[in-house]
Chains A and B, each alone.
Chain A
């Protein structure tokens, strides 16, 4: 196995999936945002986005908080410290591979 392939194989699989990568990249630049914003920016459908978020939450990269804004339910999303670290590591790993 070449060094490049080895570097690619060591990339975080949870973040490597394009949909999840978009979500993590977006969340890395904000303190928190809601489900609607991520839905708009990624142009995914609600089901797809929910499943990606569930996977990221399971990995401990994203924190999901169900709350209300007035009487309207709101789902707040935040990248955890582990998420920030994983994204940074992924970017460095990708840069090193290419």
Chain B
């Protein structure tokens, strides 16, 4: 009985990706990251660090704005007449305290690591050999591939065809990793773009299924 009650309390979470907008937001944000990588590569070699940072932030900001605009439009024009409207509560004080503490710890760790690398004159080898798989490549692939099913499960599950998307993601990333050029930054751009496109396609598929299987009740 208690678990059934809890299940009803968990149902609103599904609303966030009932129409695929959750996947689209992730896809568009990752697309922003990919775009930032490509734009940064187009900058002249003597560009200042600030210019590079500005390009990255500008492309990310544009991507996030487009993502939230798309989500708002789909929720307003497609989801609301079919499933209704849901507004979620803002995070409580304890959530913000935890989030700030985690970010501060991460920042201290990153600064400490950077200081250690600089003071000990550690040389980071970012070059990749096409024949030897670098741990960074493996981590990127594993994290990207794991993120998709975990996220879908958190949003209340999805359609069976999403397993095919996962298989396609694994095969595609493996194929792209084998073709690794020498530089990691250069190597990472096509896989990130590929991941973004897959998330977007998955979101579009969810939206198509949703529209196909539901009827608007408010005209």
Which residues of A line the B interface, CB within 8 A?
Answer: 21-22, 25-26, 28-41, 69, 72, 74, 76, 91, 94-95, 98
Contact = CB atoms under 8 A, between A and B. Distances in A.
Interface of B: 1-2, 5-6, 8-13, 15, 80, 83-90, 217-218
Q: 10 shortest A-B CB distances, which residue pairs?
A: A37-B84, A36-B84, A25-B8, A31-B89, A33-B86, A34-B85, A31-B87, A29-B12, A25-B9, A29-B9
A23 B94 CA distance: 27
Given A31-B88, A36-B218, A95-B2, 11 more contacts: A26-B8, A29-B13, A31-B89, A31-B90, A33-B85, A33-B86, A33-B87, A36-B85, A74-B85, A94-B5, A98-B1
A94 B1 contact: yes
Contacts of A41: 8, 11
B83 A37 contact: yes
17 contacts: A25-B8, A29-B13, A30-B86, A30-B89, A31-B89, A31-B90, A33-B12, A33-B84, A33-B86, A33-B87, A34-B85, A36-B84, A40-B84, A69-B80, A74-B85, A94-B1, A98-B1
Given A36-B218, A94-B1, A28 B84 contact: no
Dominant secondary structure at the A interface: helix
Dominant secondary structure at the B interface: helix
A41 to B, nearest CB: 6
A93 B32 CA distance: 49
Nearest to A78: B87
Contacts of A91: 2, 5
Nearest to B8: A25
Contacts of A29: 9-13
